[in-house]
């Protein structure tokens, strides 16, 4: 049997805490996952579930006073947690790049996008202005930007949302990162443009050999893009596994309920959607046992004393729920969405 490949990024028991009212609050608790070479991994969850905090912690970008990050995150064997800020800065924009929901956060309004991408390239490589611009124009073209030489001469606000997003991805790719962390990169875009950007992200594995950690709240985006998926709930892992397995046989009641609450585009239209009652708890008001307990249809006594540990379900799937260990796994999804009308 071949040995498992060494993952590009290997995150174990990542915790992020911030001080509030005299005590430390865990925004992210024991998150573990890995990203392999040329793989797209999805990090899904509702707002406030800790997706962005996880990503920012990996990049050393949480600067709130008193923040504590513990656990381990190895990128090509190098430990990122506790790495000197300078070394981290070199890694960012080099081997690891990040893109955001709002491209305006990546660009300064007062310079043309071409100038900004040139500068990014020149910060990491000795290149003449002219050579850098040639690379910029080529990158923009690869990202599907029409008329890239002219587009490079425009200011961020002169571009449409879709073009700005492409320009930001071009800038992120300018230093040939092996890992791209994309935080809700298509959330602000229309579906037809979103489909183009997702297609672009899927292509990066082949065109640039890059891996992507894709952060999203949209189960549809995950299904169409990611080979493996991690579901976060209230700062903790609810479930992780191969995307196809997760969608066909979710092992955590939260994953199952979340999938069921999405209205179907085809097939029978339910009279009422199977909604999940209530709202996710904030980190401050997270209950003692399973964080999903108060909203879970299967909650029982063993769920309440302590957060259920991650149990291995098989074939790379794990769920933080007591049901599988008690021999009462969830049934496969009955309401899987019909493919076609």
Partner 1 sequence: MTHPTPVLELRDVRKTYRLPHGQRLRAVDGISLRVMPGEMLGLVGESGCGKSTLGRCMLRLDDVSSGQVLFEGRDITTLSERKLRPLRPGMQMVFQNSTAALNPRRSIGDLLAEPLRVHPGPDGRRRAAATITARLHELMALVGLPASALARYPHAFSGGQRQRINIARALALSPRLVVADEPVSALDVSVQAQIVNLFAELRERLGLTYVFVAHDLAVVRQISTRVAVMYLGAIVECGGTDDVLHAPAHPYTAALIAAVPRPMVGAPPAMLLRGDVPSPVNRPAGCRFHTRCPQAQARCSAEEPQLRAIRPNHEVACHYPPGEENPPA
Ligand X SMILES: Nc1ncnc2c1ncn2[C@@H]1O[C@H](COP(=O)(O)OP(=O)(O)O)[C@@H](O)[C@H]1O
Residue 296 CB, shortest distance to ligand X, in Å, is: 20
Is residue 47 close enough to count as binding ligand X by CB under 6 A? yes
For residues 47 and 340, which CB has a smaller minimum distance to ligand X in the complex? Answer: 47
What Rg value do the Cα atoms of the chain yield, rounded?
Answer: 21
Is residue 50 close enough to count as binding ligand X by CB under 6 A? yes
Interface characters, 132-171, with partner 1 (x: CB under 8 A): --------------x-------------xxxx--------
Q: What is the distance between the alpha carbons of residues 81 and 261, in angstroms, rounded to a whole number?
A: 37
Binding-site partner at residue 299 among ligand SF4, Mg ion, partner 1, none, CB < 5 to 8 Å by type:
ligand SF4
* Beta bridge mates, 214: 42, 182
Is residue 281 close enough to count as binding ligand SF4 by CB under 6 A? no
When binding is defined by CB under 6 A, the residue of 45, 60, 93, 293 that contacts ligand X is 45
| Strand order across the 96-99 sheet | 96-99, 179-183, 211-216, 40-44, 228-233, 236-242, 317-319, 311-314
For residues 214 and 323, which CB has a smaller minimum distance to ligand SF4 in the complex? Answer: 323
> Counting every residue, how long is the chain?
341
Structure tokens at 309: 């540990």
Q: Are 210 and 179 in contact (CB under 8 A)?
A: yes
Q: What is the distance between the alpha carbons of residues 232 and 319, in angstroms, rounded to a whole number?
A: 11
Is residue 253 close enough to count as binding ligand SF4 by CB under 6 A? yes
When binding is defined by CB under 5 A, the residue of 17, 30, 49, 52 that contacts Mg ion is 52
Contacts of 161 (CB under 8 A, 6+ apart): 103, 188, 189, 190, 193
Structure tokens at 71: 């656990």
Residue 241 CB, shortest distance to partner 1, in Å, is: 12
Q: What is the distance between the alpha carbons of residues 243 and 249, in angstroms, rounded to a whole number?
A: 10
Q: What is the distance between the alpha carbons of residues 140 and 192, in angstroms, rounded to a whole number?
A: 19
Is 138 in a helix, a strand, or coil? helix
Binding-site partner at residue 276 among ligand SF4, Mg ion, partner 1, none, CB < 5 to 8 Å by type:
partner 1
Residue 230 CB, shortest distance to ligand X, in Å, is: 12
- Interface ranges with ligand SF4 (CB under 6 A): 252-253, 290, 292-293, 296, 298-299, 303, 308, 321-323
- Interface ranges with ligand X (CB under 6 A): 18, 27, 45, 47-53, 64, 282-283
């Amino acid at each position: 049997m071949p040995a498992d490949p060494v993952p590009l990024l290997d995150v174990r028991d990542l915790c992020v805490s911030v001080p509030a009212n005299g005590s430390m609050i865990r925004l992210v608790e024991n998150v573990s996952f890995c990203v392999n070479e040329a793989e797209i991994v999805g990090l899904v969850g509702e707002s406030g579930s800790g997706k962005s905090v996880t990503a920012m912690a990996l990049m050393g970008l949480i600067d709130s006073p008193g923040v504590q990050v513990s656990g381990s995150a190895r990128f090509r064997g190098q430990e990122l947690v506790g790495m000197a800020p300078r070394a981290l800065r070199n890694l960012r924009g080099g081997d690891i790049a990040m893109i955001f929901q709002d491209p305006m956060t990546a660009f300064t309004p007062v310079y043309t996008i071409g100038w900004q991408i040139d500068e990014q390239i020149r910060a990491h490589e000795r290149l003449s202005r002219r050579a850098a611009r040639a690379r910029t124009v080529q990158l923009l073209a690869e990202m599907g930007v029409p008329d890239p030489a002219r587009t490079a001469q425009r200011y961020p606000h002169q571009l449409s949302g879709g073009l700005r997003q492409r320009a930001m991805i071009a800038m992120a790719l300018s230093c040939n990162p092996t890992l791209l962390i994309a935080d809700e990169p298509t959330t602000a875009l229309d579906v037809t443009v979103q489909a183009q950007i997702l297609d672009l992200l899927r292509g990066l594995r082949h065109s640039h050999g890059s891996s992507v950690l894709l952060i999203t709240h949209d189960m549809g985006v995950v299904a169409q893009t990611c080979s493996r998926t991690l579901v976060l709930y209230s700062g903790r892992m609810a479930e992780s596994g191969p995307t196809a397995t997760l969608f066909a046989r979710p092992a955590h009641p939260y994953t199952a309920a979340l999938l069921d609450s999405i209205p179907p585009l085809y097939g029978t239209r339910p009279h009422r959607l199977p909604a999940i009652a209530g709202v996710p708890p904030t980190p401050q008001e997270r209950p003692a046992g399973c964080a999903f307990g108060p909203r879970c249809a299967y909650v029982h006594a063993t769920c309440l004393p302590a957060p259920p540990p991650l149990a291995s379900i098989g074939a790379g799937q794990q769920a933080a729920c007591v049901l599988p260990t008690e021999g009462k796994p969830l049934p496969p999804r009955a309401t899987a969405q019909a493919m076609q009308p």
